[in-house]
Amino acid sequence: LSLFSTLYEKDQFSVAYAAGVKFVEVALLQIPQNGYFKSKKYRKQRTKSAVDALRVTKLLGGMVDEMEEDEETSNNNCDGNGSSIS
């Protein structure tokens, strides 16, 4: 989570996106497979993990929207061959 947050804050979106996807995967898919996951002892950690995963998922969605907008802007400024239109 800290890696994702740091990269996101530094606008390093492509690497942050990969770190965020991995965080969500671990939090929502891998950790729940452990036998201790449903233990009452870890209820607060489970809740925090789920809340963090939801927050990261929302930020990832925003990053995708922003990357799509950047790509559209880039495509509109090119002549189809990757060259800028002057």
User: C-alpha angle with apex 6: 45 to 59, nearest 5 degrees?
Assistant: 70
Number of C-beta neighbours around residue 66 at 10 A: 12
Q: What is the mean pLDDT of the chain?
A: 85
Distance CA 57, CA 62 (A): 9
pLDDT tens per residue across span 10-29 = 988 889 999 999 999 999 99
Contact 19, 3 (CB under 8 A): yes
pLDDT of residue 7: 92
Q: What are phi and psi of 78, to 5 degrees?
A: -120, 160
Q: Is 12 left (phi over 0), alpha (psi -120 to 50) or beta?
A: beta
pLDDT of residue 75: 77
Number of C-beta neighbours around residue 31 at 10 A: 17
Percentage with pLDDT > 90 across the chain: 50
pTM comes to 0.71
